[in-house]
Structure 1
Amino acid sequence: MKKIIIGSRGSLLALWQANHIAQRLRDECDLEVEIKIVKTKGDKILDTPLAKIGGKGLFTKELEELLLSGEIDLAVHSLKDVPVEFPEGLSLVAITRRADVRDCFVSEKYPNLEKLPLGARVGTTSLRRTMQIKMIRPDLDTQSLRGNVQTRLQRLKDGDFDAIILALAGIKRLGIEGELKYAKPLEIQEMIPAMGQGALGIECRSDSEFWEILSGLNDEETRIFCESEREFVRCLEGGCQVPIGVHASLNTHQKLSLIAKVGLPDGSEVLSEEMEGEIENHLQIAQSLAQRMIDRGAKELLQRAEKMAFI
């Protein structure tokens, strides 16, 4: 029996994801699997907002170094954390069927965003979430909240925040819905997710002996949706830490629908666009939507957003 080594971050959620893929490889491919835990830069620096740390691949760089050196055979990532460009010799071999893509409002005292008192403190790591929260409630005090899901929930319970925003997929994967006093999913139209949110990305060397086996983990519909979202971000030259929301889905006419928001973290200026087309043209749709936004000043807006993040 062949042995394959998975690289993973060490949080409970990351390990759930790695173990999920490990079990599929054991069951479907008859492989022996080992999981190697790796600390990334994004895991080590917890006292600084992600946007201020700078650079790409905050949660992937160390794993990619181990892939290139041959110490691990694949890395399992939350796809929303994966940059759109890869180091030479590495690529995504599979994108798994994605879970619920929505963000989730979580609070100990308040049932939803609308019921928060004036000036309430909302914790989030994301400029994308901050932008869209401010569009709904400009009065709210959005503050940086780093750490794994358990750390964030503990800070909420300790009273550091009136509410926090988490990815619903992570809450469901950890099976902690029943432990939360108030947890209200935010509908996609009011809080557009990050590119690839809810999906897992499997990264490996382009010449990997396991490439064919790993490609069997791919979910074709999810791949098309996530490729569309990632292509849109690539065209805007945006990274994982900029205020871009983008989501692809099939509409009632079985056409690909792509919606996006780009703006400033304080929600004072936001561009919104949507486009639909035949699913086989998913990359062209993403490129056209991005160009429409670029024509409206999206790149300049993102440059200003990046400067705001460093104030």
Structure 2
Amino acid sequence: MIRIATRRSPLAKWQANHVSQLLRDREPGLEVRLHELVTRGDKILEVPLADVGGKGLFVKEIEDALLNRDAEVAVHSMKDLPAVLAPGLVLAAVPQREDPRDALCSPRWKTLAALPKGARVGTSSLRRSAQLKALRPDLQMEMVRGNVETRLRKASEGLDAVVLAYAGLRRLGLAEHATYVFPPEEMLPAVAQGALALEARADDAPTLARLAALEDPDTRVRIEAERGFLARIEGGCQVPIAGHATLAGGKVTIRALVASLDGARVIRGERTGAYAEARAMGESLADELLSRGADQILRETEGKAPGLAAPKRG
């Protein structure tokens, strides 16, 4: 039997069930159970993640289940996974990635260009907020947390639009709510957005062997470049950071940025190289951006209020 540790949100359970099906497709008759947990990040919904510790809030309880041997596998949204894993755990497999782009959901206005001046846009992401402000300084950004369905509802209950990961909408069968999908050239995705992380104990050889069959080599190369950038830049949810890698012609290209909270300063860079150099390229690109002023943005941004207004009530 394999036990999969997962959060209880509809999207998290979809992801865990997807991995369960992949395992059972390869090993018919295998018993797979979900070990559902509520993380600290799931409990704190009224404030931005940046105020309470960032993305690691969604993984600690899940990783503890592995370390305590209450589960053999943890399934995460890769973008929630900190750059450094808990001791004793490994990123055992990276399945094929879903579309990593961001999506605008606006039943009335449909596109970013169509939003009226001063439109209220909901997001929980400083990365999205900063890039939206760079594109449209007039927009009013408001913090929106909760599961995908809750955030979609906000677009019809007072806000003019919300911005979500297109991957989550597709996985939940809600892609029709995406009225505009941002090209990466316009809004660079989060590091590892759309990818799943299958985590396991480093000493659990049978589980590692099972999960290895679910590995997608192309996705792993892209993730290595993006997470190399993240690890070197030492950023999290508290700083607007983006990184997106693509493959073409036997080469990997990573594009990345670091932005100020208000989107007034955006430092961008790009590197291309061999697959084997993916992680080193991400690290090197981080060093370049830091040398060009990203280090100053990071110093100024860390510890500051995230700049997302709390949603208005009534």
TM above 0.5: yes
The answer to which of 22-31 and 70-79 deviates more is: 22-31
Residues 17 and 53 (structure 1), Cα distance of their counterparts in 2 relative to 1, 3 Å cut: same
Report if the CA contact (8 A) 2:55-2:80 is conserved: no
Whether the 8 Å CA contact 2:121–2:139 is kept in 1: the answer is yes
Partners of 1:265 and 1:308 within 8 A in 2: no
Query: Secondary structure in 1 aligned to 2:184?
Result: coil
* 1:92-103 correspondence to structure 2 within 5 Å: 92-103=91-102
Code of the aligned partner of 2:43? K
**2:236 paired residue number:** 239
Of 173, 193, 199, the match for 1:203? 199
Q: What SS is found at the alignment partner of 1:83? A: coil
Contact 2:99 2:167 in 1 (8 A): yes
Pick one of 300, 304, 309 that aligns with 2:300. 304
Following superposition, the deviation at residue 286 of structure 1 comes to: 1.2
- Matched with 1:36 is 35
**How far did 1:239 drift?**
1.9
Q: Hey, what's the Cα distance between the residues in 2 that align with 1:199 and 1:143?
A: 26
Decide which of 169, 172, 175 is 1:174's aligned counterpart: 172
Distance across 2 between alignment mates of 1:262 and 1:111? 28
Alignment partner, residue 4 of structure 2: 6
Partner residue, 2:69 = 70
Residue aligned with 2:179, SS: strand
2:19 maps to: 21
| Distance across 2 between alignment mates of 1:207 and 1:284 | 27
Percent pairwise identity: 45
**Any residues of structure 2 matched to 1:47-62 within 5 Å, and which?**
47-54=46-53, 57-62=56-61
Aligned to 1:156: 155
Mark the CA change 1:136 to 1:56 in structure 2 (over 3 Å): closer, same or farther: closer
Tell me how far apart the structure 2 counterparts of residues 139 and 184 of structure 1 sit (CA, whole Å).
19
Amino acid at match of 1:38: L
Q: Count residues with an aligned counterpart.
A: 305
Q: TM-score, normalised by structure 2?
A: 0.94
**Cα distance change on mapping 1:29 and 1:303 into 2, 3 Å:** farther
Task: Find the residue that maps to 2:116 and give its secondary structure.
Answer: coil
Alpha-carbon distance change, 195 to 167 in structure 1, aligned in 2, over 3 angstroms: same
User: How much is the aligned-residue C-alpha RMSD, in angstroms?
Assistant: 1.3
Tell me which amino acid in the other structure corresponds to 2:32. V
Counterpart amino acid of residue 202 in structure 1: L
- The 8 Å contact of residues 81 and 240 in structure 1, kept in 2 or not, is answered as no
- Stretches of 4+ aligned residues off by more than 6 angstroms: none
CA-CA distance at 1:308 after TM superposition: 3.3
Q: Which residue of 1 aligns with 2:117?
A: 118
Counterpart pick for 2:252 among 242, 249, 256: 256
Asked if 1 retains the 8 angstrom alpha-carbon contact of 2:252 and 2:273, the reply is yes
Counterpart of 1:143 in structure 2 is 142
Does the CA contact (< 8 Å) of 1:126 and 1:241 recur in 2?
no
The unaligned stretches of length 5 or more in structure 2 are 308-314
Among 181, 188, 195, the alignment partner of 1:192 is 188
Q: Measured at CA, do residues 21 and 241 of structure 1 come closer, stay the same or move farther in structure 2, by a change above 3 Å? A: farther
The answer on 1:289 being equivalent to 2:285 is yes
Deviations 1:34-57 (A, max 9, x none): 001100011000000111112551
Q: Could you tell me which amino acid in structure 2 is paired with residue 10 of structure 1?
A: R
- Letter of the 1:238 counterpart: G
Per-residue CA distance 1:62-90 (angstroms, 9 max, x = gap): 01111100011111001011001011111
Cα deviation for residue 278 of structure 1 reads 1.6
- Offset at residue 172 of structure 1 (A): 0.6
**What SS does the corresponding residue of 1:308 show, helix, strand or coil?**
coil
Shift of 1:177: 2.4
Please give the alpha-carbon distance, in whole angstroms, between the structure 2 residues aligned to 1:189 and 1:303. 26
**Structure 2: how far apart are the matches of 1:8 and 1:125?**
21
Select the residue among 266, 269, 274 that pairs with 1:273. 269
Offset of residue 310 of structure 1? 4.9
CA shift digits 1:247-306 (9 cap, x unpaired): 01023x432111011011210111011111122211221122111111112122122222
